[in-house]
Structure 1
């Protein structure tokens, strides 16, 4: 189907729309769609320029300047178009203008082509045949009726109507016949002639007119209709100005508009009873189609359950309340009854919110359910002569199976079967099953579940998934279709899906689609009466005759083109593709004559097996195909019918590197690269091994440096001095001092030994060790030696770590070489401070200074080399290399104003690590 829209020329295949437009169009809106002998689709925009679609692309006809919008015409191989005050006749095979006919301005009014003659209506009526020969006919004297004319061909002749007048003319063989429309047309926009009937499209609906009998019928009176078209399957398509596109299978289908909208039906004899969305009951006389009111409530709620008791001529229905109507409203109870099913002439079962059971409709009858009723009869209000069989259950639906004398209730707690002997839950695969609707037919219950699956329950309470009878030929996809609702009318099971309503005749096993469902068509209930189906829709009651249903029509599959990489090709002009054009997309259409139909599509490549495609897909994507020749086949349905198979062929070239010479060179290059790679990997391994060796040496040197630091703390001279001090305390009988000194000495010794096992220690541990050491050294001095250790508040001494055995040698140097030889008060100050992300440690003494200390050491030992000047520097370098950190230290020699040494300050800067 092709449509001219405000966005340009549009194609519809029954499922998807595709719009064709291009930058070279002067405007996109247009009309007058025609197909030529070569399969091209033509249309004219309202600027008067012609465009056509060929092989999936929009093209333009080479044409002169436009004279305005005048509909073109096609007669066999010729195209007639008015351009610049001339009539051009083009050869459709060559698309070249073969003839130019000059026209007078007075001749230009409007145009029309009926396939054999091209008409130009102006002050006269001019007719041109295929060769361009002209025949002129004078118009009737009263040409006022030709104002803003609309032309259309028909079997009776050319129809000439006016957009503004109810008068029209029939023209045939040079004779005009004046006629009057039997209705008042506000504004005629178009005329379509279909099967000897003429459709006048107006701003207030469309009128079907028989020009011979002058009989007419109006449709869509509320809509602005632009055109009516009938396809090859005799389906009607009605385009509108504001409401889109209408699809009508048969115009003899009736629509009875009803406000408020109908929701549920109940039928009896020649009457159809209707429950509305506004708590109203109506009656439709099926002989006269007259609709009359029965009851009008004031709750403004939809009637969602309606049951008619024909024997007692009464209604039971539920809107906001449960009501009984027999002539007048008998009672109105606050009970939400969802479903009612007849048991016998006396009782009905009911399913309601909170409670379900049975109720009596005729107390004069006798029933085998009397004992059950009397045992469970409700004595409290509300009372509508009911018995409570199920309590604390939310009933959704109920049905009675006379074959096993059992009432079934679909509830929120599962499916409950209630027989004369009592109740039990019916399960499916040993699990509770949750149903929303129950229907009975011929000893079977049909049910639909909350997950939209259909089941059957037999007289032995066996639950099985519903399977379409094997004799029914249906699309495979329907076997797994979800059905939200079911209904059972006479012998027919109706299945409601999101897309359509289907009917299965349970006696003849005949299957057919009743109606397609779209956003504009919402069906809430149906009734089947005397081979006529009544549908409750948002627009009113739709009436369809069963014998007018059309047999399913197999759609056609059409391959539109192939997309390889960035380039697109038509199916019959695919060149040999390069190796890198191996990502293929094949676009196709399913030409379905019914909107929104879904069909199974299968494909195969060369001689492989048939594979299914997603029913919603309209393209086949083949990725990373190898070089070679391909035949891709597409078809509808699993059956192998040759007529439905469409094929497309293409070849993908091999890449240039698969040439033998290229392969040999590539192989040699590969071997060379492999050898180079192997050699490079060996070098990497050697380098990695060397790095491991260097790391081991680094660790060895670091450990040796740490050992030297330990030795500097635990040298024999230190031990000798410490033991002498202890001895002096013992000899002086100062036991307390001896024990205290000995305890500190042992703690220091143990602490230093423990540090040898650690790479780093916390600041608090370092401070503890320094205090032990300095307390021991302090005993060697008189009372003139003092020390201070300060940890600033911004230093987290319990978490910040420094390398072990790093500070002690510097402290030892300060004591041994700086303070020991100083006369007077001796002071050592050690401080820890956090600056940004670094820990600053300063060791400050007021000793004799490095220069004088070096002179004294030179006198005592000419070969002396300070540990602080070599081993410590070496250890710091090793630590920086091993930990990838930047530990720095520096000396500050303090000098007095008269150039005398006043001590030394050593400053460490250590990046903080937790």
Structure 2
């Protein structure tokens, strides 16, 4: 019997202190599946592009994630629906391929087919790489270099393994050739082999199956898998030297589908989960093993430090923070009691007591204590190494050797318990708060209470009740009500920092600090608290851990700053019910389980993703995205839609907008949209920027210019125009009447003046034709004939002279004369002038016979002055061989009169004119010029007079020609 009792005690002690260990602790992850919007659960490759988009290729196609939604990409010529091998090129294009041998890239938001090699690849999923300006493909026993511009294919000898190789920092393509040595391509035409790189462990070509290449910031690693021995090896390639690595046995038999390396930490995707390793020299050591029953296909860390893990059949896991560890999925944890700087007791509502060891990352269950009732409180005494265990059914004290009953009474529905000394506790119960010990109970307050806290110096007790917050001096128990702004304080949780300040987590006004019986500090949302609704609070030295409905925060009282852990950092739920600080570790429980994190490494800065516009809608019509918009004021409804890339950006990114020149303040936007129903006239700038919800750094501001113009009928110029038009109409009406009268008067005066000028000009022409010199010469000639008794000649000459004078006088009465009349006058004039030149004048008057001389009209007294000018200034000074040709002809719709003389020319005539002061003045030609100008005023077709100087072949003056063009 004694042996049995001894054996029972051993079993009990073994169970108590070793318990049942729970392994498999993993960082908190967010599981994306079809239930929460993931378009597939089977993925093969992931990639983050230069713009921050996350790309996933899988069984159902190619998808792009912008932080809010997944966009699918497809092509009409695609064979099959799956895509593989996501990669980017220098232009930022995303590439992928499929089993059918098709290679695609995404550019300008569209999937394009680059080349189809289905017949050449024979249904194999070929690995590829973008190398310089080539798409390089591991083909069927050959390497294909395909020019990205011309698509010309250059085939080279094949390589060993399934991977095409890698491009090093010198922009060289390196792979394993058929001789198991490393080939280096500078270009398709330039190849060399690295000597002494033979991979000795694989002697037979047919034994080598799966191959992969992995890169960190300076080294490249080869993974080679022997398909017969099921044995994998990893080589490090550095300075053209291959060095084998020692790898854990657990990895040797696995395909390493993908390896992501940052610094010396390796994340390895395999068919048996995700391995986290650390490289020490030439050996790899397993640090953690996550998702052990899941086939992992790809791993990537995005721009915001989130670790993405794609799987073959379970969707995608996102790990926001690896330092946040989950130990249990239980939602029933009711109490966490600190034992040491790395150990704690965990109690739940089902009566299970567990012990957490952070160093070993172990959680063990103390099975034999459970009574299947809710554990209400745990209190560990470091001096006695005893744990006070309080459930609804029993209160016991546990030590390292045995269980013993405790003389405290049963405390069902206990709210809180805090130790005053080794034998006395203050408790909060549904009906009161009291001091209890082994022998007595002393009531502090007779009402429902929630939390009681004993000060560090044991001189005060703070109690939160349904009627407010009360402070008791100990041991006198003199009480005082704590009020804030003349109102009661309703507290959810209490704690005290090392400097003696009590801190109270309230239901809706934030956190209050109490010292010397009064409120000395108030932390609220306006000062940086995530929310005024708080639940748990825990002192950490003089700093505070505060759990709110919007995140868990660390408040640094020295610098008055807040650091926030939110769902963006991996906390799945803000419903935190227990919180404890163990040295550098913080342990907390929520409705989703038990968690811990290192307070020195949990806060990782998050990059602020840029904001970009997704849509602009004006008056209900979607517009092309432009930097500027012009709106009419009566139709100025405009809506801006915007977004920021990044995982769960819609939940954790806040956007602030400003309409510059309308309002200078920045306003928080909601739902990624800002709408203005109407805007006043003016020039505005719509600015938008983003920041993490609890961060202080903003992204770069993006802007759109808006110009709002009034309708024309509301603009000042329109009112002025209407006023001016009204006045103008009135003024114009009366002015028009006056102007009409004035115009008629001016027109009559102008006509009179014109007629007067024409009359004067005709008189001048007449004077020219009847000038004294001409008359004197004519009369002298008649006198000479009479003296010489040549009566017939005198009579003939006199008749011609009188007829010419009469013609001139008659034509001076008319505006126009017929060509026939003009020719008659010209003939008489030339006959008389020939007599004056003593028969030393040869003239020729040539008239085109087709001209209708009786119908063609020309201004009266018009041609003769030009003939006179030719005679007096051109031929008069020539001694002999005086020739004058006058022609009339019609060209198109013009009567052309050409007057040609072979006189001394205008230049010589001008010189003679300057030498003789009393030289004859040819005012008729000038009058004719003025007359031409007057006549042309009212003509559409103008009369033109052109004077041409004639020269011999030796460039000597040879007369003058006058061309007169009169429109018919």
2:235 aligns to what?
Answer: 170
Aligned to 1:303: 375
The 2-side partners of 1:499 and 1:350 are apart by 30
Q: Which residue of 2 aligns with 1:353?
A: 430
* Distance across 2 between alignment mates of 1:603 and 1:163: 59
Residue 493 (structure 1) shift = 1.3
Paired position in structure 1 for 2:153: 100
Match of 1:732 in 2: none
Decide whether aligned partners of structure 1 residues 513 and 296 sit closer, same or farther in structure 2, where only a CA change above 3 A counts: farther
Pick aligned residue for 2:338 from 225, 245, 267: 267
Q: For residues 640 and 249 of structure 1, what CA distance do their matches in structure 2 show?
A: 16
d(CA) in 2 for partners of 1:306, 1:228: 42
Do residues 387 (structure 1) and 442 (structure 2) align? yes
Secondary structure of 2:610's aligned partner = strand
CA contact (8 A) 2:323 2:602 kept: no
CA contact (8 A) 2:549 2:575 kept: no
- Corresponding residue number in structure 1 for 2:188: 132
Separation in 2, partners of 1:569, 1:633 = 18
TM-score by length of 1: 0.58
User: What's the offset of the Cα at 1:595?
Assistant: 7.0
Q: Are 2:193 and 1:142 aligned? A: no
1:449 equivalent in alignment to 2:501 = no
CA contact (8 A) 2:266 2:276 kept: yes
Q: Distance in 1 between matches of 2:697 and 2:260?
A: 38
- Maintained 8 Å contact 1:256/1:542: yes
Q: Does structure 1 residue 492 correspond to structure 2 residue 550?
A: no
What is the aligned-residue RMSD (CA, Å)? 4.9
Distance 1:38 1:188, change over 3 A: closer
Aligned ranges 1:17-416 → 2 under 5 Å = 17-22=69-74, 24=76, 26=78, 29-44=82-97, 49-52=102-105, 54=107, 57-64=109-116, 66=118, 67=121, 69-75=125-131, 79-80=135-136, 87=144, 89-91=146-148, 96-97=149-150, 99-102=152-155, 109-114=162-167, 116-118=171-173, 129=185, 131-133=187-189, 135=191, 140-143=202-205, 146-154=208-216, 155-162=218-225, 165-170=230-235, 172=237, 181-185=247-251, 186-209=254-277, 210=279, 212-220=282-290, 221-231=292-302, 236-241=307-312, 244-248=315-319, 251=322, 264-270=335-341, 272-277=343-348, 278-284=350-356, 293-294=365-366, 296-301=368-373, 303-321=375-393, 323-327=395-399, 328-331=403-406, 333-344=410-421, 347-360=424-437, 385-391=440-446, 393-401=447-455, 405-416=459-470
**Conservation of the 8 A alpha-carbon contact between 1:194 and 1:230:** no
Q: Assess, with a 3 A threshold, how the Cα gap between structure 1 residues 490 and 462 changes in structure 2: closer, same or farther.
A: closer
Q: Deviations over 1:88-134 (max 9, x none)?
A: 5454xxxx345422367888944354463456779677867464346
CA 403–262 in structure 1, closer or farther in 2 if over 3 Å, else same: closer
Q: Distance in 2 between matches of 1:180 and 1:171?
A: 11
Task: Flag structure 2 segments of 5+ consecutive residues without an equivalent.
Answer: 1-51, 727-968
Q: How does 1:580-729 map to 2 (within 5 A)?
A: 583-590=637-644, 598=652, 600-614=654-668, 617-624=671-678, 630-636=684-690, 644-650=699-705
Mark the CA change 1:462 to 1:497 in structure 2 (over 3 Å): closer, same or farther.
closer
User: In 2 relative to 1, CA 431–197 (structure 1 residues): closer, same or farther, beyond 3 Å?
Assistant: closer
1: distance between equivalents of 2:544 and 2:624? 48
- Paired residue for 1:812? none
Query: What is the CA-CA distance between 1:358 and the residue it aligns to?
Result: 1.1
1:690: which partner in 2?
A: none
Structure with the bigger RCO (C-alpha within 8 Å, sep 6+) is 2
Cα distance, 1:594 vs structure 2 = 9.1
Residue pair 1:560, 1:589 contacting (<8 A) in 2 also:
yes
| Partner residue in 2 for 1:532 | 585
Partner of 1:557: 610
Q: How far, CA to CA, are the matches of 1:558 and 1:593 in structure 2?
A: 14
Alignment partners' CA distance in 1, 2:435 and 2:509:
28
Asked if 1 retains the 8 angstrom alpha-carbon contact of 2:420 and 2:458, the reply is: no
Distance change (3 Å), C-alpha of 1:334 and 1:644: closer
Q: Secondary structure at the match of 1:547?
A: coil
Q: How does 1:784-863 map to 2 (within 5 A)?
A: none
CA positional deviation for 1:359? 1.8
For the Cα contact (< 8 Å) 2:272–2:295, is it kept in 1? yes
CA displacement at 1:439 relative to structure 2: 1.9
Report SS of the residue matched to 2:260: strand
Distance 1:314 1:501, change over 3 A: same
8 Å contact kept, 1:560–1:571: no
Q: Give distance in 2, aligned partners of 1:492 and 1:541.
A: 23
Residues 394, 479 of structure 1: alpha-carbon distance in 2 compared, 3 angstrom cutoff: same
Match of 2:523 among 466, 469, 478: 466
CA–CA separation in structure 2 for the residues paired with 1:338 and 1:596: 38
Q: Of 533, 540, 555, which aligns to 1:504?
A: 555
> Tell me, which stretches of 5 or more residues in structure 1 are unaligned?
361-382, 672-914
Deviation at 1:268, TM superposition (A): 3.6
The aligned counterpart of 1:762 is none
Give secondary structure in 1 for the equivalent of 2:336: strand
CA-to-partner distance for each residue in 1:386-420, whole Å, 9 max, x for gaps? 323333x3321112357895433222343344443
Cα distance in 2, alignment partners of residues 107 and 355 from structure 1:
79
Contact 1:8–1:28 under 8 Å retained in 2: yes
Q: Provide the rounded CA distance (Å) in 2 between the counterparts of 1:448 and 1:640.
A: 23
Change (3 A) 1:449 1:4: same
Contact map agreement 1:236 1:247 (CA 8 A) in 2:
yes
Q: 1:409 & 1:641 partners in 2: Cα distance?
A: 37
DSSP-derived class of the 2:436 partner? strand
- Post-superposition offset of 1:351: 0.6
CA distances 1:312-365 after superposition (whole Å, capped 9, x unpaired)? 4332344444523232142472522121233456532111222321123xxxxx
| Partner of residue 707, structure 1 | none
Q: 1:563 Cα shift?
A: 2.8
- The count of aligned residue pairs is 632
Is the partner of 1:527 in helix, strand or coil?
Answer: strand
1:158 and 1:33 map into 2 onto residues whose CA distance is: 20
Distance in 1, Cα, partners of 2:694 & 2:508: 31
In the alignment, the residues of structure 1 paired with residue 633 and residue 155 of structure 2 have an alpha-carbon distance, to the nearest angstrom, of 56
Q: Distance in 2 between matches of 1:413 and 1:427?
A: 11
TM-score (ref. length: structure 2): 0.55
SS of match in other structure, 1:548: coil
In 2 relative to 1, CA 498–415 (structure 1 residues): closer, same or farther, beyond 3 Å? closer
Q: Deviations over 1:461-482 (max 9, x none)?
A: 4497424897xxx5xxx46453
Q: Report the secondary structure of 1:337's partner residue.
A: coil
CA contact (8 A) 2:138 2:159 kept: no
Equivalent residue, structure 1, for 2:758: none
Q: Matched residue of 1:555: which SS?
A: coil
Residue number in structure 1 paired with 2:490:
434
Contact 1:207 1:218 in 2 (8 A): yes
Q: Is the 8 A contact 1:401 1:444 kept in 2?
A: no
Decide whether the 8 Å contact of 2:128 with 2:135 is kept in 1: yes
Is the CA contact (8 Å cut-off) linking 2:636 and 2:708 kept in structure 1? no
